Structure 1
Amino acid sequence: MEKNRLENFEKILRDICFKIKVEGRKIIKNSEISPAQFDLLQIIYFRGPKRVTDISIALGITKSTTTGLINRLENSGYLKKTKDEKDKRVTTIQITQKGENVIKEVIKARVEFMNKVLSQIENPENLMRQLEHLDYTINEVRNNEKE
């Protein structure tokens, strides 16, 4: 495929992801949670409890910045820290019910938005199959690059 078409394809996907993210962020707009804090909450919600180092790597930010985000979320009741039973130097970050509730609200808003979008599309089932295939292919390429 030619370079311009590939660049346009990447731009379309980036724009779609951004627009869906913005719809979800409307939910946290009037809350005490910043977009960076929400990104951190999502990591814990979808990937399970993590150490600070793992979270900072996933977010691509420094450990000190990650620690600040975690502390603010913990103080607000969205996260809790748990010391490892065997090694007290290791702290695991877990999401609380309050944190889960925020994530669920955002997901609900995104799903409602996508329902409106899909209702405007002639054959949404076909689009879903194509997107699932694209996701599968992306994962295959990523996994092959790791080897």
Structure 2
Amino acid sequence: MADKDLIISIEKSIRYISVHVRAHGREILNEYEISPPQFVALQWVGDKEGITIGELSNRMYLAHSTTTDIVDKLENLQLIRRYKSEKDKRLVLVEMEPKGKEIIRKVIDKRISYIRDITAHLDEEQMIMLPELLESILRESEKLTHG
């Protein structure tokens, strides 16, 4: 395969795997009144305690007003809460509530189970290499995305 064909194949595989993993995890969301974009916001809040709505908006590539609507909904469901920054009272930060953490845990557990199933055919050496390769790709992706 030519270099371009390899990259095209990698892109397609990553895209499809990502869709499948997310879809299996989101089955849990049927138990709650949470849309996929609201769940993505919930994940970002969980990943970065004390995130501002502006940061959340940038990470989700959404308009500030749309992100505010999502935060309002998640707050009404008692999954997250807003609070004033101790360092700068002008800043409103968002953090996860216990109910939000529980939903995230359930979804991640479902995803982990699915990943276990789809990697069960790999041998021990491949299983050891896979996280190392993915972490390396993730680090480069973070560098290119966030400088």
Whole-angstrom CA distance in 2 between matches of 1:10 and 1:80: 36
Q: Which runs of 5+ in 1 are unaligned?
A: none
Alignment of 1:1-147 (within 5 A): 1-119=2-120, 121-140=121-140, 142-143=142-143
| Larger displacement relative to structure 2 (86-95 or 126-135) | 126-135
Whole-angstrom CA distance in 1 between matches of 2:67 and 2:21: 25
Whole-angstrom CA distance in 2 between matches of 1:142 and 1:55: 16
TM-superposed CA distance for 1:88, in Å, is 3.2
- Number of matched residues? 146
Change (3 A) 1:142 1:51: closer
- TM-score, normalised on structure 1? 0.87
Deviations 1:41-73, CA, capped at 9 Å, x for gaps: 000111222011000001010110000000010
What is the letter of the counterpart of residue 136 of structure 2?
Y
Structure 1 runs (4+) deviating above 6 angstroms are 144-147
| Larger displacement relative to structure 2 (53-62 or 41-50) | 41-50
CA RMSD of aligned residues (A): 2.1
What is the letter of the counterpart of residue 17 of structure 2?
I
Identity %: 27
What is the letter of the counterpart of residue 115 of structure 1?
R
SS in 1 for 2:32: coil
- TM-score, normalised on structure 2? 0.87
**Residues 118 and 124, structure 1, Cα contact 8 Å, conserved in 2:** no
Whole-angstrom CA distance in 1 between matches of 2:114 and 2:138: 25
Whole-angstrom CA distance in 1 between matches of 2:34 and 2:141: 35
Change (3 A) 1:65 1:139: same
What is the letter of the counterpart of residue 108 of structure 2?
I
Whole-angstrom CA distance in 2 between matches of 1:57 and 1:46: 14
Change (3 A) 1:20 1:54: same
| Larger displacement relative to structure 2 (19-28 or 135-144) | 135-144
Whole-angstrom CA distance in 1 between matches of 2:35 and 2:145: 34
Q: Which runs of 5+ in 2 are unaligned?
A: none
